[in-house]
Structure 1
Amino acid sequence: MNWLPSDCQTLVEGMQDTGTLHLFEDLVLFFVRKNLQEKVIPQFLESFAKVSCVEMLDALENLYTSMGWFHNYVGNWHNATSLKLQMNQVLKSILKWNAHYRLEDSFSKLFACSFQFYVTANERNNYSFHEEGKSDRLLVEWKGFKQEIELSTLENLMERQFKPLVQHWLSELGLVEFFCDDTVMAVLEVEVDRYITKICGGNFEKRWMHSEGAELEHWSNSQVMPWLKLIFHHGFKKEVWTQKLHYILYRSYTKLRISEMLNIITDYPDSTPALHELKFCLQHTRQRPCLIESLKNDITNRVLHPGVSTQNIITVYIAAVKALRELDLSGVVMEMVLEPCTTYLTQREDSVRMIMQGLLWDDGSNDLAAELATTQEPEEVACWNERVTEKPEDWMPDPREADPNKVDKSTRTSDIVTLFIGMYGSKEKFIKEYQKLLSKRLLQTWYGEKSESSEIRNLELLKKRFGEEDMSKCGVMLKDISDSKRINTYINEEYYKKNSLQNNLNLRTMVVSSQFWPDIPNQEYELPEGITKSLELFNKGFENLKASRSLKWLSSVGMVDIELEFEDRQLEISVNPLQASIIYHFQDEDKWTLSELSDSLKIPPTILRRKMTFWLQQGVLKEIEPDNYVTIEKRPGTTSSNASAPAASGGGVVDASEHFVNLCDEEEDEEKANSDEEEEKKKKNEQVFWNYVQGMLKNLESLPLDRIHKMLQMFAMHDSDMQIEMAQLRQLLNDKVQKGLLVIEQGKYKLVRDNS
């Protein structure tokens, strides 16, 4: 400015006199460039580099004023419009040459400040944190930068400087495209990410888009679009920015849901709305490869490790199959994501057993049991079934993420039971495991006269899955149950009555065909004489009915209902035959040594000592000296009454093959525990739940009580022995808070870092 005459007319007249008027524009541009490079731009950059939004706006106003002087200077020049454009180009070149990226970042910070002021005018809590007593201040944030500004000051700046900046200054200086386009996109991406994370994070049950009153679309139309219109003013193109904003919304929503995908799977089917919206967004953002990679990593790191039980892994697998098929009908995402899970499950020794237990869930509430009940008979499918369509135009190629080496693509549409069978390449393991489980279940239920209708139903469903021939042995096992009931009815009601016989034991026996049943473990020992006579009497009745067969009893298998009478009490209890035999000896003699009892029962002392523990815990026997036991006829503080010998009734299982029969029992580890054992079990379960809670909070940082309880139901409460009520869980977590292991912040539990 100091290099040019103060009046443009003076310069024009001087150049006319010298015949150099044709160099007027070059001369002005030379002085404009020199002034900008040596004075205006350095001052602008120095002020604009300040952190404060106030100083940035002041610097932009000074730049506009300086350039405005040059524009006014040539205002009367006949080609003033073209000359002004050239001046603006000089300005743009100098700015771009000197500090384009630095300026872009500063402009982004300034635009973010305006976004957070305008867009959140009615609900600023979405982006700012207001401390008590500071509701008149706005916390402006941008990529780590934070500045708290009084709303009155910020409102004044927006009206006095920012609006003129975007509506006039940048347009007149020709810097709208230079600064606004990329800057606005960068700001939108960050701010939309923050807003979507704030309102949509963890909420999978609500529709946020494409529904009446959808919050995201309402927010973008009512809040973001007016801000964009303010920024671009007369150059605003609604259709263009609507398309860009929708793309940013879809991409941000997809990014959030990808990070939460494992939680969405565990919450299925409640999370169906989130899956449907993610499915729509993936069609527009092409982020499917990112979803596949992220979810595979999450499942590998958070599910497929020794700390997670096989039952929980199976639960996640089933939920993932259902959720991912909801997300991707082609099945490609499911196929690729669950490949590590499939490999890992086949390496776990108890996987087949856990799968079969799920299939045989009695009440049908289990996912696998429900799947088995609803699955139709498998149909033969052509090898290239993905190529076969009724109409050629209906054919859809595989998505580009699909593995081209996968020839057999039937797993993409197979039901869940078929997927599990396909893991092992054969159904033989499942059939053998089913035989073991069926044997155990029948042995546990026949004694109580429980109906086998659920077992028959399961068998019929499995026959459809595995075939009649392969399940024939299991059919024989169920037939043995009904045959045994007829045999017991005949012997107990007809044979004894016909021959005027009386059996001292109410004996119910299950006769099984040994070649069709899995091996039944048995502890050989010598039964007491009174019990042996009852078994021999029952055996005669069986031989009368089945002349060519006899029974071979498994002496430790079965269940015996006994009633014990003491001087001060009566005790009714169900025990296995060995435990009944032990206490049977004490009706004749009140005192036995371990060696004497071992010789009488013909059982090793080490095994017998463990069995004696049960009666010690029940308060029936007392060890007065090492390996010396007596009955406790009268407990301290009680009055006397007459004592009598124990009465008993029993049941067993027998196999009627050509010449021998088996007798079965419940497993000894299912004996009823006393109160001390129950307390120990409760503590053990609480420790298991606490381990799960720690794992959840390490992965998700903080969770409310109801969310923790829901996740425990999904991952930890896989049987009736592993249950915890909401109140019990609250007490457990509050105990951990008192011990300094947890803290509660805004109603959410969080691990203390030093203890995590």
Structure 2
Amino acid sequence: MATAALRSQVAAKWHEGFNRLNRSEPGISGLLSFSQAWNIATDYLHPRDISDPTSVKHHDLPSVKASFDLINRSRRLPVMLETFLDDICDQYHLIVRDIEQYLAEYEESADTSVILRLVFRLVEWYRAWAPIDELGPTIRAAYTLTFQTQLFSILPPAFVRGFKALCASTLVPVAQLAPPMWEAFEVLGLTDRYEGIIASVGYERIEDYVRETCTGRWDKPCLEELRVWMTEQIVPWMLPMYAKGAGNTEDARGMLQNVGSRFDFHMNKTLCDLRTSEIFDIIIDFPDSNGALQDLKECLQRVDQRSSLVQALRKANRKRLLHPGADTKLILSQYVATIKCLRIVDPPGVLLFKVADPIRRYLRERPDTIRSIVANLVGDDDSGDSLVDENEPIQPLQQLETEDYNDPHWDPEPIDAGPDFRTNKPSDVISTLVSIYDSKDLFVKELQVLLAQRLLAITDDNFEKVEKERRNIEILKIRFGEAALQVCEVMLRDMTDSKRIDGHVQSQKASIVHPTIISRHFWPSLESSDIVMPGQFQALQTQYAKEFSTFKPDKKLRWLPHLGTVHLELQLEDRTIETDVPPLEAAFIELFSEKNTWTMDELIEGVGAVDRTAALKALITWIDLGVLKEDEENTFRLLEVTEEAAPSSRTAPTASETPTVTAAQQQQADQMRLYWKFIEGMLTNLGSLPLDRIQTMLRFAPGYDQTVEQLARFMEAARREGLVVGRDGMWKLNR
């Protein structure tokens, strides 16, 4: 049972509440007037269906205000507010009905104007149910919070998609409905709720515009034009959302500063991503792509994507450059272009150091890298595309620099520099290329070998090339130093002396032999051979050596008969053949002046110790010219009279069979089949290739020494067998 104290307390509270509601009026008249005011106020606040005209009632505003005033004086306004908010939740199904109707129409038509009408409809609901302003900001704020909370809880994903599309539609140059639309967003709280979505619309528009206008456009910078476009298109679109309430331009600029910085950052990031994806082709197109490099440099100062650039370029190099299908000269050209481009993007050279390391290691493993660099230095590059800029001054090779901390212009290493960064300091291109290897002595020796080959290839009627080589050596002295090229000076002097000696010998006794006489100790080691030139060649050599010994009694000629070229005129019964061939071919055909038929072993014995493979290649030359014929395996006969193609002693082939080939040709074909796997692999990986590209790549195969003509015959045979397809000079596998 309740105690007397509790009963007394309850009675006191009840009495106090009664007095407050009755307002100390006689009887219960005050309570009745409060009840009447409560009914008027609740009926006025009750959420109505604005789609049903009959549900709308007209109220006497003075009596409504008086009722609210009475409830407020009775301190029952919070209770009424709670009842009102409960009614809002109960009646929200009316709004859900409209939302479903509008979204169904949008899903069917994908028309963003439907979403805009839905937004305006929601604003109508919001204003129709809103309490009057006389109730104060607290009740208004509570109503707004309840309305928006209910709204956001029922909006389906379809509305979010439509809302984003609606915002995107306002990015067109003229958007007549944009101001009232943004006001409606603000009323419903959509601006704050979906700020990320609205910003993403701007980001995506920036991304699309950057890709549309800047992709593949590398000749001039794009950033300045992009910023002008941002000012004209994006900034006006941002004003209603991010600068609402701005009284003047300065206020708007201050309010947009933060968000504008975010949009500018995104524009820089998008352009940086685009240029990063294009970087390999940008480097190929250099110097015509200088504008894109300037953009990339500026973007990297704003956006920290240096590591992404390094990774993208290294990946592209591995896929498109550092593989056996790429010619060494192509790799060197791309490396030089990479050096020049990355120095524009990152003058300290950190990016270059990180990107160049795999290229340098790969070039170091290639056997012809040094020769390609040296050939370019002396102007022996067949492509005509020099690695060295003609405008770049010729200067000595730069040595690795040491840190001078007393230098007032000294700068610390960049924060992303590796521990070995300073070891890659040479700035000019040639010094950078030479620094691929640990010592320049390798280049000097290769230079000597290349110069020797070039000098020995000079014919008597083209001796002005010696002077050209002399000019090249004078230029190279600046780079490598006088001492390093002394041997080259001796070789050039030998060429001059050789011409003078030959002139003296010819004046004493004319000869058709014009040897190049060199100093054995100062020239690179030349390949030796035990070939003995037979017949008239031996006599001509002996006669020339005798005259030389008369002129130079203290010296003796040592012939290298496997080097050089012999101009021959073969007089056969029905024809005359004139050709230039290597000495071994000349030696073999000379033996046929003694008798018409020789075996392979007899021919080899007649010219000394010769490798059978080299002998076979020499004989195939005459077979191809129609001078010799292989009657039996390893037995060759001179054709004094041209023979028409006659049926072989073997069974005549059917239409589906390939013609019978000689044993020598068969042996050559067998040798080429050893390299078929190489050819099949490169055509599988690289698709269609021209013949010269296949020949270049086959040079990396061990022991490959075939000419491009021999390769062409092999590919034609492979085509007849259905292994490959040849069209317009391109070869590909027959799938």
Q: Is the TM-score greater than 0.5?
A: yes
- 2:126 aligned with 1:67, yes or no? yes
* 8 Å contact kept, 1:111–1:184: yes
Partner of 2:521: 515
Question: 1:366 is aligned with what amino acid?
Answer: D
Task: Quickly say closer, same or farther: Cα 1:82–1:173, change in 2 above 3 A.
Answer: farther
Question: Where do residues 303-314 of structure 1 align in structure 2 (5 Å cutoff)?
Answer: 303-314=321-332
SS in 1 for 2:547: helix
**1:266 shift after superposition:** 1.2
Question: 1:602 is aligned with what amino acid?
Answer: G
Question: 1:66 is aligned with what amino acid?
Answer: W
Report the count of equivalent residues. Answer: 601
Task: Quickly say closer, same or farther: Cα 1:314–1:95, change in 2 above 3 A.
Answer: farther
Partner of 2:623: 616
Partner of 2:180: 164
- 2:334 aligned with 1:316, yes or no? yes
**1:350 shift after superposition:** 3.0
Task: Quickly say closer, same or farther: Cα 1:588–1:300, change in 2 above 3 A.
Answer: closer
SS in 2 for 1:188: helix
- 2:478 aligned with 1:467, yes or no? no
Task: Quickly say closer, same or farther: Cα 1:580–1:198, change in 2 above 3 A.
Answer: same
- 2:363 aligned with 1:345, yes or no? yes
Partner of 2:493: 479
Partner of 2:144: 88
Partner of 2:654: none
Distance 1:541 1:207 in 2: 72
Task: Quickly say closer, same or farther: Cα 1:415–1:201, change in 2 above 3 A.
Answer: same
**1:67 shift after superposition:** 0.9
More divergent stretch after superposition (96-105 vs 579-588): 96-105
Partner of 1:176: 191
* 8 Å contact kept, 1:29–1:87: no
Q: Structure 2 unaligned runs (5+)?
A: 1-41, 47-56, 247-251, 645-668, 700-706, 709-724
* 8 Å contact kept, 2:397–2:430: no
**1:179 shift after superposition:** 2.9
Distance 1:453 1:22 in 2: 114
- 2:235 aligned with 1:225, yes or no? yes
Question: 2:45 is aligned with what amino acid?
Answer: L
Task: Quickly say closer, same or farther: Cα 1:255–1:388, change in 2 above 3 A.
Answer: farther
**1:595 shift after superposition:** 4.0
Task: Quickly say closer, same or farther: Cα 1:479–1:243, change in 2 above 3 A.
Answer: same
- 2:221 aligned with 1:207, yes or no? yes
Show CA shifts across 1:556-599 (max 9, x none): 22111122233443332111112112222334444444444333
**1:22 shift after superposition:** 4.6
**1:334 shift after superposition:** 0.8
- 2:164 aligned with 1:114, yes or no? no
Aligned with residue 375 of structure 1, among 385, 394, 402? 394
SS in 2 for 1:572: strand
SS in 1 for 2:570: strand
* 8 Å contact kept, 2:206–2:267: yes
Partner of 2:116: 57
Partner of 2:45: 4
SS in 1 for 2:577: strand
Distance 2:91 2:280 in 1: 58
**1:269 shift after superposition:** 0.9
- 2:546 aligned with 1:533, yes or no? no
Task: Quickly say closer, same or farther: Cα 1:21–1:462, change in 2 above 3 A.
Answer: farther
* 8 Å contact kept, 2:325–2:682: no
Task: Quickly say closer, same or farther: Cα 1:580–1:206, change in 2 above 3 A.
Answer: same
* 8 Å contact kept, 2:598–2:637: yes
SS in 2 for 1:630: strand
SS in 2 for 1:552: coil
Distance 2:323 2:399 in 1: 37
Distance 1:629 1:87 in 2: 111
SS in 2 for 1:368: coil
TM normalised by structure 1 equals 0.70
Distance 1:521 1:19 in 2: 116
Aligned with residue 406 of structure 1, among 417, 420, 437? 420
Task: Quickly say closer, same or farther: Cα 1:19–1:581, change in 2 above 3 A.
Answer: closer
* 8 Å contact kept, 1:345–1:351: yes
**1:78 shift after superposition:** 5.8
Task: Quickly say closer, same or farther: Cα 1:487–1:112, change in 2 above 3 A.
Answer: same
Task: Quickly say closer, same or farther: Cα 1:612–1:381, change in 2 above 3 A.
Answer: closer
Distance 2:72 2:202 in 1: 55
Question: 2:496 is aligned with what amino acid?
Answer: S
Show CA shifts across 1:199-248 (max 9, x none): 221221243233xxx3x344333333343346567447355365444333
Show CA shifts across 1:459-500 (max 9, x none): 23333333322322222222221111111111112x32xxxx
**1:187 shift after superposition:** 1.3
Aligned with residue 433 of structure 1, among 424, 446, 463? 446
Partner of 1:747: none
Larger relative contact order (CA 8 Å, sep ≥ 6): 1
**1:110 shift after superposition:** 2.9
Task: Quickly say closer, same or farther: Cα 1:348–1:103, change in 2 above 3 A.
Answer: farther
**1:26 shift after superposition:** 6.7
Distance 1:295 1:693 in 2: 20
SS in 1 for 2:414: coil
Partner of 1:27: 80
- Larger Rg computed on CA atoms: 2
SS in 2 for 1:349: coil
Distance 1:92 1:472 in 2: 90
Partner of 2:200: 186
Partner of 1:134: none
Show CA shifts across 1:117-171 (max 9, x none): x14x7xxxxxxxxxxxxxxxxxxxxxxxxxxxxxxxxxxxx756x65321x2123
Task: Quickly say closer, same or farther: Cα 1:114–1:684, change in 2 above 3 A.
Answer: farther
More divergent stretch after superposition (454-463 vs 43-52): 43-52
Distance 2:191 2:207 in 1: 25
Distance 2:301 2:323 in 1: 33
Task: Quickly say closer, same or farther: Cα 1:299–1:31, change in 2 above 3 A.
Answer: farther
Q: Structure 1 unaligned runs (5+)?
A: 122-157, 497-501, 638-675, 697-707, 723-738, 742-750
Partner of 1:444: 457
Question: 1:344 is aligned with what amino acid?
Answer: Y
* 8 Å contact kept, 1:12–1:24: no
Partner of 1:599: 605
Distance 1:37 1:45 in 2: 16
Show CA shifts across 1:237-291 (max 9, x none): 3553654443332221111101111111111111111101211222222322322
Partner of 1:355: 373
**1:508 shift after superposition:** 0.9
* 8 Å contact kept, 1:592–1:630: yes
Distance 2:312 2:406 in 1: 33
Task: Quickly say closer, same or farther: Cα 1:396–1:235, change in 2 above 3 A.
Answer: farther
Partner of 2:49: none
SS in 2 for 1:408: helix
Matched-pair identity in %: 25
Backbone CA RMSD of aligned residues: 4.1
TM normalised by structure 2 equals 0.71
Task: Quickly say closer, same or farther: Cα 1:594–1:690, change in 2 above 3 A.
Answer: closer
* 8 Å contact kept, 1:251–1:281: yes
